[in-house]
Amino acid sequence: MSLRAMLAEAAAQYGQKTAIVCGDHRLSFTDLDEASNRLANALIEMGVAKGDRIALLLSNSPEFAVVYFGIVKAGALAVPLDARYRTDELASLFADCRPKVIVAERPLLDELLPVLPRFDSIRQVIDLTGRHKQFLSYQQVLARGSVRPPGVRLDPEDSAQLAYTSGPAFCPRGIELSQHSLVLSAAASAEGFQQTDRDVMMLFILPLHHMFGLVAQLLASIYKGSTLVMVPGTGLSIGSFLAAVEKEKGTMFLGVPYVFALAVDMAEREGIRNDLGSLRICVSAGAPLSIDLIRRFKKHYGFDLFDCWGLSETVCHITCAPIAHGIRPGSIGKPLRGWEVKVVGDDGHELAPGQHGEIIARGPMMKGYYNNPRATAEVVRDGWLYTGDIGKIDEDGYIFITGRKKDLIIIKGQNIHPSDIESVLQAHPKVAEAAAIGAGDELRGEVIVAVIALKSGDVVSQTDIKRFCLEHMVSYKAPKEVIVVDSLPRTAAGEIDKETIRRRLSLRPPFP
pLDDT greater than 80 at residue 488: yes
Looking at residue 277, its pLDDT comes to 94
What is the spatial distance between Cα 315 and Cα 175, in angstroms, rounded to a whole number? Answer: 9
Question: Rounded mean pLDDT of 480-495?
Answer: 87
Contact 320, 308 (CB under 8 A): yes
* Beta strands per DSSP E along 73-169: 77-80, 101-104, 124-127, 136-137, 159-163
Domains of the chain: 29-177 (3.40.50.980), 409-505 (3.30.300.30)
Question: Which among 195, 186, 120 is positioned nearest to 364, based on CA atoms?
Answer: 186
pLDDT greater than 70 at residue 428: yes
Contact 424, 469 (CB under 8 A): yes
- 396-to-392, 393, 400 alpha-carbon distances in Å: 11, 8, 12
Question: Which among 458, 475, 463 is positioned nearest to 420, based on CA atoms?
Answer: 475
pTM for this prediction: 0.90
What is the spatial distance between Cα 417 and Cα 477, in angstroms, rounded to a whole number? Answer: 9
Q: Which string of DSSP letters, residue by residue, matches 324-340?
A: GG---TT--BEEPTT-E
Question: Rounded mean pLDDT of 342-363?
Answer: 95
Question: Which among 135, 169, 148, 145 is positioned nearest to 414, based on CA atoms?
Answer: 169
For 304, counting Cβ atoms within 10 Å of its Cβ (0-12 exposed, 13-18 middle, 19+ buried), the class is: middle
pLDDT band at 405 (very low <50, low <70, confident <90, very high): confident
pLDDT band at 234 (very low <50, low <70, confident <90, very high): low
pLDDT greater than 80 at residue 16: yes
- Of 167-176, 222-231, 446-455, the one with minimum mean pLDDT is 167-176
- Of 100-104, 248-252, 417-421, 425-429, the one with minimum mean pLDDT is 417-421
Contact 15, 39 (CB under 8 A): no
pLDDT greater than 70 at residue 233: no
103-157 pLDDT per residue, tens:
999 888 888 888 888 899 999 999 998 878 889 999 999 999 999 999 999 999 9
H or E segment to which residue 404 belongs: strand 399-404
What's the DSSP call for residue 489? -
**What is the b/e burial string over 393-419, where b = at least 16 CB atoms within 10 angstroms of the residue's CB?**
beeeebbbbeebeeebbbbbbbbbbbe
What lies within 8 Å, CB to CB, of 359 at 6+ separation is: 341, 342, 343, 387, 389, 390, 391, 399, 401
pLDDT greater than 80 at residue 509: no
- 423-to-88, 261, 414, 419, 450 alpha-carbon distances in Å: 11, 32, 19, 6, 12
Contact 73, 28 (CB under 8 A): no
What is the spatial distance between Cα 442 and Cα 350, in angstroms, rounded to a whole number? Answer: 33
How many CB atoms are closer than 10 A to CB 93?
22
pLDDT band at 166 (very low <50, low <70, confident <90, very high): low
What lies within 8 Å, CB to CB, of 151 at 6+ separation is: none
439-465 pLDDT per residue, tens:
888 788 889 999 999 988 889 999 999
Instruction: Please give the mean pLDDT across all residues of the chain.
Output: 92
301-333 pLDDT per residue, tens:
999 999 999 999 999 999 999 998 888 989 999
97-112 pLDDT per residue, tens:
999 999 999 888 888 8
Question: Rounded mean pLDDT of 347-356?
Answer: 94
Beta bridge partners of 18: 28
pLDDT greater than 80 at residue 169: no
Contact 322, 334 (CB under 8 A): yes
